[in-house]
Structure 1
Amino acid sequence: MSAAAAFAALHDGPAPLLLPNAWDVASALALAADGHPAVGTTSLGVAAAAGIPDTSRAGRQATVDLARSLARLPVPVTVDLADGFADDPAEVAALVAGLPAAGVNLEDSTGGRLVDPGLHAAKVAAVAEAAPGVFLNARVDTYWLGEHADLATTLDRARRYVAAGADGVFVPGRLGEAEIAVLTSELAVPVNVLAGAHPLPRLAELGVRRVSTGSLLFRAALDAAVAVAARLRDGEAAPPATPYAEVEARTAAYGGGPP
């Protein structure tokens, strides 16, 4: 089974796919080593690590470089492509077709504002035609941005993307259980939400098929690093951590750099 087919099959498992989102090779290797069957990337983590705002399109090259560097990961990888880093559907499709990825995530907002759903549907259709084996997750940013954050608008946009060829729909943001239940019952493709207030077993009962950590792991890693530095500054002992030799061995075994 190809990586793309294996990734798609994970959405049909007995429980929702918990998708952890990495921001570099080391974090992706650590997540794979911990037994996660697939790994995603986080646009915020990738952009912030490079000193680039997530809401700009300046993170394209860093995203592409990471996707290529993760090509040998032992589990399928899905890449967060923000809005595809372009308005032209053909340009977005060419980008996806050139990536060694099992899946991609494309959001229907640019610069923190929703775009016309027809434009995003055109991107989805172009990607579906150019890269039919790639699991295309279409993200609806209504609730995330607090812009037209209602079920009717969200479902209308989601249905357009499914009709255009999306394999899944991602609705991040603060969603109540009733809203999640409507989305999963009304949409004919796997529904993806962000990890947050609702535990995984409850999301399974609501029909969710994928739960992404988004930028949570990256932000938590920043907090943990600052907390350790503060402990040392305050005279406390260093906490336990993954041994240097283990990280080095894992990285050396992976081979380093793009394929």
Structure 2
Amino acid sequence: MTFAELHHQHTPLVIANVWDATSAIAAQQAGYQALGTSSAAIAAMLGYEDGEAMSFDEMLYIVTRITSVSNLPLSVDVEAGYGSNADEIAEHLKRLVQAGVVGINLEDSKVVDGVRRLVDAQAFSRTLEAIRTRLSAEDLQLFLNIRTDTYLLAHEHALQETLYRGRLYKAAGADGIFVPCLTSEQDIAMIAKELNLPLNVMCMPDLATFGRLKQAGVSRISMGNVVHSAIQLQLKNLLERILAQQSFAEVFIDESTR
């Protein structure tokens, strides 16, 4: 199946969000169908804050290392596109396609002075349409999964704003809609029905089971940076125990015996 076709299965497409070659290999060995990068995890790995603090070239290098070790379809989180206009963003997406990437996440918010805010929906949709037009003109195939941060930023009218933005983005050429922090099954069902686009939700503590999400209309489930964060916490705890015990014995304990 193509990457687009993976969004129309009997069960949701569960994306393994990775941040380097090692995590990509682990996800492939575990049996995942597709990979997605986590911008927050990659930024953390490189010592940056999330929100395009790292350069596009730094992110692209990590992408090339992932594609070099895995043959799974790869979607890349490009945040707000690493550009100030449609031409700059489209050029970045072209380089990603050349690196073997089949999809991207592009978000309708930006971090300015440490604060994330939604951008104007009309302006964003015009940018998206221009990007789609340029990609089509160069016959570049890329699944555009458009992220709206209405729920992430706790918009006062999150459902209505998501529907408004989703309709604009669909008309501008979006292939899918990604709504992080959306957990209400009622809202999920409404958004999936009204937009009629593959709907992507993200791991949250109160997110329903995958089966229930599929019944509500979800096509794709992302992990975000939660797996990377969990591993970093385990690493920190292990390093602390080595110092506390003044021994490396803890390193060699079989996890299955814990």
TM bin, normalised by shorter chain, reads 0.7 to 0.9
Q: What residue number does 2:88 align with?
A: 91
Amino acid at match of 1:108: D
Q: What residue number does 1:228 align with?
A: 238
Q: What residue number does 2:41 align with?
A: 45
Alignment of 1:120 onto 2:133: no
Q: What residue number does 1:250 align with?
A: none
Q: Distance in 2 between matches of 1:149 and 1:56?
A: 27
Note the C-alpha offset of 1:57.
4.2
Runs of 4+ aligned structure 1 residues displaced above 6 Å come to: none
Question: Which moves more between the two structures, 145-154 or 12-21?
Answer: 145-154
Question: Which moves more between the two structures, 89-98 or 51-60?
Answer: 51-60
Amino acid at match of 1:22: V
Deviations 1:184-226 (A, max 9, x none): 1111210000022211111111110000001111111111111
Amino acid at match of 2:54: A
Q: Distance in 1 between matches of 2:4 and 2:73?
A: 10
**2:167–2:195 contact (8 Å) kept in structure 1:** yes
TM-score (norm 2): 0.86
**1:7–1:102 contact (8 Å) kept in structure 2:** yes
TM-score (norm 1): 0.86
Q: Distance in 1 between matches of 2:94 and 2:129?
A: 13
Q: What residue number does 1:77 align with?
A: 74
Q: Distance in 1 between matches of 2:157 and 2:242?
A: 44
Q: Distance in 1 between matches of 2:179 and 2:14?
A: 15
Q: What residue number does 2:222 align with?
A: 212
Backbone CA RMSD of aligned residues: 1.7
Question: Which moves more between the two structures, 124-133 or 165-174?
Answer: 124-133
Amino acid at match of 1:52: Y
Deviations 1:65-94 (A, max 9, x none): 122222332100000000001220111111
Alignment of 1:154 onto 2:167: no
Q: What residue number does 2:102 align with?
A: 102
Amino acid at match of 2:130: A
Q: Distance in 2 between matches of 1:149 and 1:232?
A: 49
Deviations 1:133-177 (A, max 9, x none): 101000000111123442111110111111100100000014311
Structure 2 SS opposite 1:78 = strand
Structure 2 SS opposite 1:172 = coil
Amino acid at match of 1:227: N
Q: Distance in 2 between matches of 1:127 and 1:162?
A: 13
Q: What residue number does 1:187 align with?
A: 195
**2:182–2:188 contact (8 Å) kept in structure 1:** no
Structure 2: gaps (5+ residues): none
Question: Which moves more between the two structures, 98-107 or 170-179?
Answer: 170-179
Q: Which residue among 131, 134, 137 is the counterpart of 2:135?
A: 131
Alignment of 1:240 onto 2:240: no
Quote the sequence identity (%).
Answer: 33
**1:19–1:39 contact (8 Å) kept in structure 2:** yes
Q: Distance in 1 between matches of 2:195 and 2:110?
A: 24
**1:192–1:208 contact (8 Å) kept in structure 2:** yes
Structure 1: gaps (5+ residues): 242-259
Q: Distance in 1 between matches of 2:157 and 2:233?
A: 30
Q: What residue number does 1:33 align with?
A: 29
Structure 1 SS opposite 2:7 = helix
**2:182–2:201 contact (8 Å) kept in structure 1:** no
Question: Which moves more between the two structures, 45-54 or 160-169?
Answer: 45-54
Q: What residue number does 2:172 align with?
A: 164
Structure 1 SS opposite 2:2 = helix
